[in-house]
Amino acid sequence: MIPPDHPRYRQLVVRERLARCAREGIVALEGLTAHGRAEAFDYLIGEKSTATAREAARVAAALLLLARHPVLSVNGNTAALAAAECARLQEVTGCGIEVNLFHRSEERVRRITRILEDVGASVLAGTPERLIPLQHDRALCLPGGIGSADLVLVPLEDGDRCEALRAMGRTVVTIDLNPLSRTARMATLTVVDELTRALPLITEAYRGMTRTEAEALVRGFDNHYLLQAAIAEIVRELSRALD
Ligand code: ATP
């Protein structure tokens, strides 16, 4: 039992949840190391959504608003951490949700689908096909889902698939606390923020946005500039750390 007055109560609860989800086969063991890296980067950005993250979340909302067929790609960590936030994003934006896993088994897909459906999400189903040119199982996707999406929102992505999706001409929006990852640099747009903070920011930005505003935001953004700004925020945060 974690005492609620522990200074890192929230982080400890999240760790406990991920460990339980790993034991239940929802999160891959490798997903725990990815979370550890994310925790470290979250420390570096001060465990809050920065001004740059907020700006990127607005651009993400604009891209979603202008997309013809946007699909949110969910893996084990995303479902364990942010199922309700995914459902809320879908409710507001109407995006599709598809389960896509590096360590794929039908049982894991079923469990992750159940977590999402339990919080009201509607998850795309069908027979996946190898539509993305990759050697591993993230190549598998649904023809009516990621297979035909013009925009794929892929939180906590691996660089390989991001690169393959971009080569297929897709718009790729990612959420990744590491501004140096291959994914962050390959994506059309990267929101450098923690998943459970970033998804609500995108959802809220979408709610009030008009098409004209979205078109202006999409015309004016530069992912390289946003990543440099995110790194500058980390440097500023570090320089203040011991003040
Ligand atoms: P790349 O191939 O893009 O360089 P990687 O091998 O560095 O990827 P993975 O091990 O696939 O990265 O981990 C996925 C990424 O997701 C990591 O960069 C990590 O920082 C990020 N991540 C994990 N959990 C969260 C979270 N809760 N919020 C935001 N980002 C996260």
pLDDT in tens, 99-109: 999 888 999 99
What pLDDT was estimated at residue 198? 98
Strand duo 140-141 + 129-130: pairing:
antiparallel
Q: Look at residue 63 and tell me if it is in a domain.
A: yes
> Per-residue confidence at 96, pLDDT binned at 50, 70, 90?
very high
Q: Look at residue 1 and tell me if it is in a domain.
A: no
Q: Look at residue 199 and tell me if it is in a domain.
A: yes
Q: Look at residue 23 and tell me if it is in a domain.
A: no
First to last CA, the chain: 33
User: How many whole angstroms from 155 Cα to the centroid of ligand 1?
Assistant: 8
Q: Residue 214 half-sphere exposure, CB side, CA atoms within 13 Å?
A: 16
Phi, psi of 71 (to 5 degrees): -130, 135
Q: Look at residue 159 and tell me if it is in a domain.
A: yes
Positive or negative: CA dihedral 68, 149, 58, 87: positive
Q: pLDDT tens across 111-166, in order? A: 999 999 999 999 999 999 999 999 888 899 999 999 999 999 999 888 899 999 99
What pLDDT was estimated at residue 71? 98
Asked if residue 69 has pLDDT above 90, the reply is yes
Query: What residue owns the CA closest to ligand 1's atom 7?
Result: 181
Which residues line ligand 1 at a C-beta cut-off of 6 Å? 34-35, 37-38, 41, 77, 81, 156, 158-159, 175-178, 181-183, 194-195
A 10 A CB-CB count for 158 gives: 17
Q: Look at residue 135 and tell me if it is in a domain.
A: yes
Q: What is the CATH number of the domain that holds 197?
A: 3.40.50.12640
As a whole number of angstroms, the distance between CA 217 and CA 28 comes to 36
Asked if residue 241 has pLDDT above 90, the reply is no
Asked if residue 91 has pLDDT above 90, the reply is yes
> Per-residue confidence at 226, pLDDT binned at 50, 70, 90?
very high
Residue reference for tokens 């982080």: 11
Ligand 1 pocket test, candidate residues 15, 136, 178, most atoms within 8 A of CB: 178
Q: Look at residue 127 and tell me if it is in a domain.
A: yes
User: How many whole angstroms from 191 Cα to the centroid of ligand 1?
Assistant: 12
User: How many whole angstroms from 229 Cα to the centroid of ligand 1?
Assistant: 19
- Contact (CB, 8 A) for 237 and 229: no
- The pTM of the full predicted model, rounded to 2 decimals, is 0.95
Q: Look at residue 83 and tell me if it is in a domain.
A: yes
Note down the domain range covering 222.
51-242
User: How many whole angstroms from 43 Cα to the centroid of ligand 1?
Assistant: 14
Ligand 1 pocket test, candidate residues 158, 161, 165, 193, most atoms within 8 A of CB: 158
Indicate which atom in ligand 1 lies nearest the CA of residue 176: 30
Ligand 1 pocket test, candidate residues 176, 185, 193, 231, most atoms within 8 A of CB: 176
Domain count, the chain: 1
Indicate which atom in ligand 1 lies nearest the CA of residue 183: 3
Residue 59, amino acid: V
